[in-house]
A = this chain, B = another copy of it.
Amino acid sequence: MNAASTLRHLIPTRWPLIQAPMAGVQGSAMAVAVSNAGGLGSLPCAMLTLDALRAELQAITAQTSQPYNVNFFCHTVPAHDAAKEAAWRAALAPFYAEHGIDPAAIAAGAGRAPFSHEAADVLEAFKPPVVSFHFGLPAPDLLARVKAWGAVVLSSATTVAEARWLQAHGADAIIAQGVEAGGHRGMFLPANTLGEHAGLSGTWPTDWATELLTQQGTFTLLPQIVAAVQCPVIAAGGIADTAGVRATMALGAAGVQVGTAYLLCPEATTSAVHRAALQSPAAQHTALTTLFTGRPARGIVNRVMRELGPLSHAAPPFPTATAAIAPLRAAAEKMGVRDFSPLWSGQNTAGCRAVGAAQITLNLAEVLSI
């Protein structure tokens, strides 16, 4: 069996096309539309309460009998750090003043929850056929629970070393996430470690700016991961149209994961300012930024990224940056202003269309038909 047929065996959708889970801009409606169209619809779960997770799973299973994917982050929630939180609020202070926001009224909080036994309790009632993770994999006992109901496990790699790690730790297929991708980089092994693997002396600086200098585009990451692992590899990052799909196939992909192209769909919950940005010349200009969550994620450059710098050291650790910037986003969006919104986008918006998610899926799948 080649990698493509292995993937089809693992995930028996009509086409090896995964709609990328995009927390904050889509829910069950998108997943249902894509799964019913023959792709693999995804439900991003990192920002859902347990009750909301249950409700979304009920919505999906009520509307499709096709395979679907649920996606979770697996990060460690950092201890509350009053000094870092204060520094972050100090950096945002001029913006609070401008918008008449009282920072004392803003509660600190995590914003995004990692996969947990409580979430697994909810999932067990539904037994989702595919579970994908970002930032590595959950602890072995938690991963074992997912595997116990037969779920196929996916996770993202941004380096060859991460792909090897994921294969060794239980991933059934690997998503090669090129640096072109929108949203969070899945990075979970520091380049520092890679340096040690390569027998280098000295300490690699641990700031994000330096770390990101080593990240790879889809064009080189994909074939090197394909060569390094035995499991199927799914290409992600910059795939906007059938030409992009064909190019990933030439580079050895068993399937593709596409996110940005779905952002204008009616099934997406993309905000009005975000939709406008995606259709403007500003979409040419994305950057990786830590300002919205604390980890690097790619979005269209806006005012706060320009004024603080996209990787400002003032941003506290993931996922705690969200709480303090969220009220600014809400206030600005009310005025139709995108200055403080995370405008997630990959580096190619040419595939974005304000048509149904089924149509986006069918257009991309055209060259995937066997």
Among A227, A281, A311, A339, chain B packs the most CB atoms within 10 A around the CB of A281
The answer to whether A346 and B220 touch across the interface, beta carbons within 8 angstroms, is yes
The answer to whether B160 and A284 touch across the interface, beta carbons within 8 angstroms, is yes
Contacts of A188 in B (CB 8 A): none
Within 8 A of B (CB), among A301-337: 301-303, 306-307, 309-311
Cβ contact of A198, chosen from B179, B246, B252, B280, cutoff 8 A: B280
Interchain CA distance A244-B227 in the complex, whole Å: 13
Contacts of A221 in B (CB 8 A): 347
Taking the closest CB of chain B, its distance from the CB of A99, in whole angstroms, is 15
The answer to whether A204 and B301 touch across the interface, beta carbons within 8 angstroms, is yes
Number of copies: 2
Contacts of A216 in B (CB 8 A): 180, 217, 347
Residue of B nearest to A289 (CB): B213
Contacts of A311 in B (CB 8 A): 209-210, 213
**Do A179 and B282 form a contact, CB below 8 Å, given A204-B301, A223-B348?**
no
Contacts of A350 in B (CB 8 A): 223-224, 227
Cβ contact of A244, chosen from B210, B219, B237, B244, cutoff 8 A: B219
The answer to whether B303 and A202 touch across the interface, beta carbons within 8 angstroms, is yes
**Do A281 and B210 form a contact, CB below 8 Å, given A219-B180, A220-B348, A348-B224?**
no
Q: Is A201 an interface residue (CB 8 A)?
A: yes
Taking the closest CB of chain B, its distance from the CB of A219, in whole angstroms, is 4
The answer to whether A214 and B285 touch across the interface, beta carbons within 8 angstroms, is yes
Interchain CA distance A227-B243 in the complex, whole Å: 12
Please tell me the size bucket of the interface on A: 35 or more
Interchain CA distance A287-B244 in the complex, whole Å: 26
Contacts of A252 in B (CB 8 A): 243
Residue of B nearest to A211 (CB): B287
Cβ contact of A309, chosen from B191, B210, B239, cutoff 8 A: B210
Residue of B nearest to A197 (CB): B281
Contacts of A224 in B (CB 8 A): 284, 348, 350
**Do A302 and B212 form a contact, CB below 8 Å, given A194-B285, A219-B180, A247-B219?**
no
The answer to whether B247 and A217 touch across the interface, beta carbons within 8 angstroms, is no
Could you give, for residues 125-162 of chain A, a 1 whenever the CB lies within 8 Å of some chain B CB and a 0 otherwise? Answer: 00000000000000000000000000000000001110
Taking the closest CB of chain B, its distance from the CB of A368, in whole angstroms, is 14
Q: Is A255 an interface residue (CB 8 A)?
A: no
Q: Is A100 an interface residue (CB 8 A)?
A: no
For the complex of A and B, 5 pairs with smallest distance between CB atoms: A217-B217, A202-B306, A220-B238, A209-B209, A198-B282
25 contacts between A and B (CB under 8 A): A179-B179, A180-B219, A180-B220, A191-B287, A191-B301, A194-B285, A195-B301, A198-B284, A198-B285, A198-B301, A199-B282, A201-B303, A202-B306, A203-B306, A209-B213, A210-B309, A212-B213, A213-B310, A216-B217, A216-B347, A219-B238, A219-B348, A221-B347, A223-B243, A246-B250
